[in-house]
Amino acid sequence: MSKGLGIGVAVFLTTLLANIIIGTTFAAFLPQQVALIFTQIGAVFLLAFTLNKVWDQEQVPHQPLGAGSYLVTIIALFAVAIFANLFMAALAELVPALQASKAEYEKMVRGLLRSEDFWLNVSAAFAVALVAPVCEEWLFRGALLRAQLKAGMGVSAAILANGFLFSALHLNPIGLIPLWLVGSVLAWATVRTGSLWVAIIGHAALNTLNGVIFPWLIWDNAVETTPELSHLLVALSVFALLVFGLIFFANRIYPRRHYE
């Protein structure tokens, strides 16, 4: 287990450093929407490819699944996206010190997706909804998760550690727990089905809803009102039950395969 955890921490630190260096370099002469695409490909995807070569791992499995498996995955990750929003809103109400973090996150998303330039908005949506899910899943679930399991880390420990490192890489304090849940669910689905496709499609669905559709349909430039805390907690409980219910259902319909 210690070896698997050590591998995870080393990959996390390497990815973080690469993101900072490459992201800063591209951001110096490219719009942030375009720089994000090159950063994901240059830092995350190439690192995953390199690690698979270093660990002499075979090509990441892309076994096809049934339409029902993909549909349940998309619905479950949609529910997780709503849960994440509710959780962050409730957390900001319960811990006033985190309100600044929530405001900073929303400002960053607005700056990325709400440019006055149409093509920059298209580039941002492409980066968030497609490039990031493919690159991040190839690294975290495609390379790192398999390396953790091969190093002798228990399945449950590997899933939780993988989800936590995925969450920590986003450097979003208020989103730490929701993103940990997201990463762990994606890791579990990958192990359970033996396919990376389910994680890529689920991640893309979540990012599309939470990172593209919500900011355009729900957020606006006017002052927003936050629902009462009691209402947030009720909604949070409902979606928590929905998420775990969908995961339970997915566990019944996913094919049982070995992931290595």
Q: Is the pLDDT of residue 131 over 60?
A: yes
- Burial (CB count <10 Å: 0-12, 13-18, 19+), residue 252: exposed
- Find tokens 């995953």 and name the residue: 48
pLDDT, mean of residues 3-14: 82
What is the Cα–Cα distance from 120 to 129, expressed in whole angstroms?
14
What is the Cα–Cα distance from 63 to 254, expressed in whole angstroms?
12
Q: Is the pLDDT of residue 53 over 80?
A: no
Q: Is the pLDDT of residue 223 over 50?
A: no
pLDDT value of residue 100: 78
Q: How many CB atoms are located within 10 Å of the residue 210 CB?
A: 22
pLDDT in tens, 71-102: 888 888 888 888 888 888 888 888 877 777 77
pLDDT value of residue 222: 47
For 44, residues 6+ apart whose C-beta sits below 8 A from its C-beta are 15, 18, 19, 135, 136, 138, 139
Q: How many CB atoms are located within 10 Å of the residue 103 CB?
A: 12
Q: Is the pLDDT of residue 126 over 60?
A: yes
pLDDT in tens, 149-161: 888 888 999 999 9
- Find tokens 């989103």 and name the residue: 175
pLDDT in tens, 167-211: 999 888 888 888 999 999 999 989 888 888 889 999 999 899 887
pLDDT value of residue 220: 56
Could you please report the per-residue DSSP string of 213-247?
IHHHHT--SSPP-PPPHHHHHHHHHHHHHHHHHHH
pTM of the model: 0.88
Contact yes or no for 99/186 (Cβ under 8 A):
no
DSSP secondary-structure letter at 138?
I
Q: Is the pLDDT of residue 111 over 80?
A: no
- Find tokens 């990750």 and name the residue: 77
- Which residue has better confidence, 57 or 101? 101
Closest CA to 255 of 204, 197, 207: 197
For 94, residues 6+ apart whose C-beta sits below 8 A from its C-beta are 229
Percent of the chain at pLDDT > 90 equals 16
DSSP secondary-structure letter at 96?
G
